[in-house]
Amino acid sequence: MESDVITQAVSERYARAVTNGEEMCCPTGYNHEDLRTFIPEPVLKVSYGCGTPVGLTTVQPGETVLDIGSGGGIDCFEASRRVGPTGRVIGIDMTDEMLALARTHAPTVAANLGYPETNVDFRKGQAEAMPVDDEDVDLIVSNCVINLSPDKPKVFQEMFRILRPGGRFSISDIVSDQAIPNYMIYDKEKWGDCLSGALPLHEYWGGLRDAGFLGIHQVNLIPWRVIDGIHFLSITLTGYKLTNPQATSLAFATLKGPFTQVTDERGHTFKRGIPESIDTQTATLLQSPLYDGLFVLTETPEKFTGSDSRWSEVLPEDTTCVWDGHFAMLTGPFLEARDDDDHTFLCGVPLEICSKTHRVLQHATYQPYFGVINRASQPGSHEAIICEPTGGCC
């Protein structure tokens, strides 16, 4: 299907929603009672999305925030409250009806916040060609919008272009566990339903990485719908455009665990307890809060074993297990990771796991790095099996 046909169909769908109050496709997580204290009701009625971009909780006064697909303006107005009168907010949308609604209520929001004038600028444009200057933004948010773009790699490239070094994104979107078939892709109505445009998680994550982002990781993941055996997931991802690396005396990184081995986004492999030489860019990345607790960074190599308090592992139970339909997906920040039962997880690629591995991944040290789905269409008669010592059951 041609890109302009998709864009037109999506724009018309959202334009209708402004006038007829149509309920759109995705689950949301807004606290309307709080937002109602300063955002007019007509804006709240057209707040579509698949999650509340949690990046807004990281906003500092005076920062510049960009919302891709700003719609009626709900996320822009919340960002306006958080950046304060000295900050700036830019909202981009391609639908005239949405832009008109947001612009109409911007002065009211500013007055409710006690600002002398609005600090939100709503601009018409598409995510693939944003009307924003290079390196002009500190934070990008987006709520179930990139899913609707026919050229997501271009969107990711645009995001990287407009972010300042040290900037970050926090985007909520719908992804899938497998490729979308053509009968969905060529269904214009399903584009507006957040279905046809869903990328498999590994492609979505990989597109962000290819654009130059690092530290890409899951903040939240919720199973949403299963259609024709395809699992659709609401996921919130955060990632960074790193600053230029600064000189540092930290020259070695040692993986603490719980993984036995990981490969980072730049292709470096680390084994638990074994020091690896790192460059300044990797040192900068591993010092970010995202990696806190996973690595030991040192000036000289430090090797340690399981007797060291820094060693972290979660071993599977020594008991029988069952196959019950669970599949695990690594959600970053690593290209791949290996556990103590010798499973190798590739980022975004579902891997079938037994009940023992499922329990391991529910442990607090593993849970932030995985999403789990169940592909079993109905409960089965599961026979307990005994795992081999090397993890041979799965």
Residues 83-137: pLDDT tens digits? Answer: 999 999 999 999 999 999 999 999 999 999 999 999 999 999 999 999 999 999 9
**Helix, strand, or coil here: 271?**
strand
Around Cβ 382, how many Cβ atoms within 10 Å?
Answer: 14
Domains defined for the chain, CATH in brackets: 3-240 (3.40.50.150), 245-313 (3.40.5), 320-386 (3.40.5.100)
Please, how many CA atoms are within 13 Å of residue 184, restricted to the half-sphere of its CB? 20
**Positive or negative: CA dihedral 102, 108, 112, 114:** positive
Pairwise CA distance, residues 199 & 205, whole Å: 9
Given a contact cutoff of 8 angstroms between Cβ atoms, the answer to whether 187 and 196 are in contact is yes
Given a contact cutoff of 8 angstroms between Cβ atoms, the answer to whether 98 and 72 are in contact is yes
Burial classification of residue 246, based on how many CB atoms lie within 10 Å of its CB (0-12 exposed, 13-18 middle, 19 or more buried):
exposed
Residues 1-25: pLDDT tens digits? Answer: 555 645 554 445 544 555 555 555 5
**Helix, strand, or coil here: 261?**
strand
pLDDT bracket for residue 383 (50, 70, 90): low
- b/e burial code for range 318-340 (CB count within 10 A of at least 16 → b): eeebbbebbbbbbbbbbbbbbbb
Backbone angles phi, psi at 254, to 5 degrees: -125, 125
Burial classification of residue 347, based on how many CB atoms lie within 10 Å of its CB (0-12 exposed, 13-18 middle, 19 or more buried):
buried
Provide DSSP, 300-326.
Answer: S-----TTSTT----PPPSSEE---SE
| pLDDT for residue 320 | 87
| pLDDT for residue 5 | 47
Question: Hey, what amino acid is at 80?
Answer: S
| pLDDT for residue 367 | 94
Residues 214-232: pLDDT tens digits? Answer: 999 999 999 989 999 999 9
User: Greatest CA span in the chain, whole angstroms?
Assistant: 69
Residue 192 clears pLDDT 70, i.e. is over it:
no
Backbone angles phi, psi at 64, to 5 degrees: -110, 125
**Helix, strand, or coil here: 57?**
helix
Burial classification of residue 389, based on how many CB atoms lie within 10 Å of its CB (0-12 exposed, 13-18 middle, 19 or more buried):
exposed
- Paired strand residues for 169: 140, 239
